[in-house]
Amino acid sequence: MGFSDADLAAIWLTLRLAGITTVLLLIIGTPIAWWLARTRSNWKGPVGAVVALPLVLPPTVLGFYLLLAMGPNGPVGQFTQWLGIGTLPFTFWGLVVASVFYSMPFVVQPIQNAIESLGERPLEAAATLRAGPWDTFFTVVLPLARPGFFTAAILGFAHTVGEFGVVLMIGGNIPGVTRVVSVQIYDHVEALEYAEAHWLAATMVIFSFLVLLALYTLNPATRRKQA
């Protein structure tokens, strides 16, 4: 036995989706986390709640509205059509956009917590030592909040690997384009190919376990506590 070509394509697609989503989320999520960690604005609550919505929403609900928004008559869809790139549903990049929303809280919250726990003082000290805001971010915040970024990247990646409902709503089930591992497993089970389903499912279990193991043992924050 082992993996069929279709299985391998699904694995590769999943890893690519999760990788790109994680990188995008670190870029998009960091400023959001920074703002949430440091703002005194009244918008902190509403924005924080919106970011956290995917934690509690059924993925199908999220996927349904994303589908509408990105569809030909949705605002995002109108915009992408105006750009001349068509509509996003049932494409790989549609999945990426959906995954970014879906995994957002898993990236934003660890970074936000890490920045909050830094407090004002290191930033103030850096300012009195002539470091501007960007300089401070890269030479003080990033090194000191590294455990938070590490956790964010791993959780964002793992959570994207595990998504199912959103993918079905946005991407459907197009081999090599939108058929990720979780959907492939579903297909195997539908077709009563339990052995094939086992291979992929067990791989997911092992993968998830290894990811969490890495999180708990490699994370500098937990390691420091043990030392």
* Site of interaction with other proteins (CB under 8 A): 121-122, 124-132, 135, 139-140, 143-144
Report the residue number, 16 or 146, with the smaller CB distance to other proteins: 146
Report the residue number, 25 or 123, with the smaller CB distance to other proteins: 123
Burial label for 185, CB within 10 Å (0-12, 13-18, 19+), is buried
Report the residue number, 135 or 214, with the smaller CB distance to other proteins: 135
Could you tell me if 69 and 75 are in contact, meaning their C-beta atoms sit under 8 angstroms apart? yes
Handedness of CA 139, 144, 145, 147 (dihedral sign): positive
Report the residue number, 38 or 198, with the smaller CB distance to other proteins: 38
Report the residue number, 2 or 132, with the smaller CB distance to other proteins: 132
Distances (CA, A) of 148 to 156, 162, 194, 205: 12, 21, 39, 24
Residue 132 CB, shortest distance to other proteins, in Å, is: 5
Report the residue number, 8 or 142, with the smaller CB distance to other proteins: 142
Two tokens, residue 209: 């376990």
Could you tell me if 211 and 158 are in contact, meaning their C-beta atoms sit under 8 angstroms apart? yes
First to last CA, the chain: 45
121-152 residues labelled b (16+ CB within 10 A) or e (exposed): eebeebeeeebeeeebbeebbeeebebbbbbb
Residue closest to 14 by CA, chosen among 153, 185, 140, 192: 185
Residue 94 CB, shortest distance to other proteins, in Å, is: 40
Residue located via tokens 């956790």: 151
